[in-house]
Structure 1
Amino acid sequence: MPTWASWTIAALAIRIGLPFAWASTPLGTRGATHLLLNAYRREGLETAERQYLSRLAPRRAGLQLFNLALALDRAGDQDCAHAVYRRAAECGFPPAMANLAYGLSRRGEEDEAQDWYRRAVEAGYPRGVPEQADGE
């Protein structure tokens, strides 16, 4: 059930043209991921990033890309998820770095996987299992 705060943020986002401003609420995170997933499937990653993520700070864009990658992963589209994890990792989002490293390791690309694990730890991500849930 949406709260008054999420509705207020959504109304402001529509009013000022920032469609992901409400992405910090649980409802907004699901909605933002759904919008991004539809745009990704319809137009591809570059267009989706340009249209929806270009106004966000890199870490926030990384979070949205990470959630998109998780959605693709859950849908069974590992190749696309891998590409989106890479893009989110390049935005500097540590959980995406860890998931990308895990995927690379499963593909047998150990050198690059170790590099991404190291970057994730340097960026403050704790050693351990890759992320499996939405958000930070």
Structure 2
Amino acid sequence: MFNLGYLLEKRGDEAEAESWYRRAADAGNAAAMTNLGILLKERGDEAAAEVWWRRAAAAGSAAAMFNLGYLLEERGDEAQAESWWRRAAKAGSTFAKSRLGLRLRERQGRAGEKDG
């Protein structure tokens, strides 16, 4: 179900893809939950995306944890964003590790500006 949703999304049939992602997500597929969240966020439904990413994160999806971090950062909640990126990094997300490295460098730059 997830793979069919993914193929349909890549073909541009987002409505049908969403249907298959929902079926797979309801069956417990964390990847489908994650992709459903991405699809919904791209449509502008951040609240629904967050719900699916939180469900996927609870199921162990590092990608969902990473995406949730970005959503929270966009809302201005940097502490929670970083917390989710740390969880994603522990779950194996190389993207989250990279993002955390960038955050550390940004912090060091800000600290240097204050000192200089």
Q: TM-score with structure 1 length normalisation?
A: 0.55
Residue 77 of structure 1 is aligned with which of 8, 27, 45? Answer: 45
Residues 118 and 79 from structure 1, CA distance in 2 versus in 1: closer, same or farther, beyond 3 angstroms?
A: same
> What amino acid sits opposite 2:27 in the alignment?
L
> What amino acid sits opposite 1:53 in the alignment?
A
* Count of aligned pairs: 90
Q: Secondary structure at the match of 1:114?
A: helix
Distance 1:124 1:38 in 2: 25
> What amino acid sits opposite 2:69 in the alignment?
A
Residue 128 of structure 1 is aligned with which of 78, 85, 98? Answer: 98
Q: Percent identity?
A: 33
1:33 is displaced (CA, Å) by 3.8
CA contact (8 A) 2:56 2:64 kept: yes
Match for residue 34 of structure 1? 18
Distance 1:70 1:104 in 2: 14
Residues 28 and 80 from structure 1, CA distance in 2 versus in 1: closer, same or farther, beyond 3 angstroms?
A: closer
> What amino acid sits opposite 1:89 in the alignment?
A
1:128 is displaced (CA, Å) by 3.3
Match for residue 53 of structure 1? 27
Q: TM-score with structure 2 length normalisation?
A: 0.63
Q: Which runs of 5+ in 1 are unaligned?
A: 1-19, 40-47, 55-60, 130-136
* Correspondences of 1:1-136 after superposition (within 5 Å): 20=1, 23-24=2-3, 27-30=4-7, 33-36=17-20, 49=25, 52-54=26-28, 61-126=29-94, 127-128=97-98
**Higher percent of residues as helix:** 2
Q: Which runs of 5+ in 2 are unaligned?
A: 9-15, 100-116
- Whose relative contact order is higher, 1 or 2, with alpha carbons under 8 Å and at least 6 apart? 1
Q: Which contiguous aligned blocks of 4+ residues in structure 1 show a shift greater than 6 angstroms?
A: none
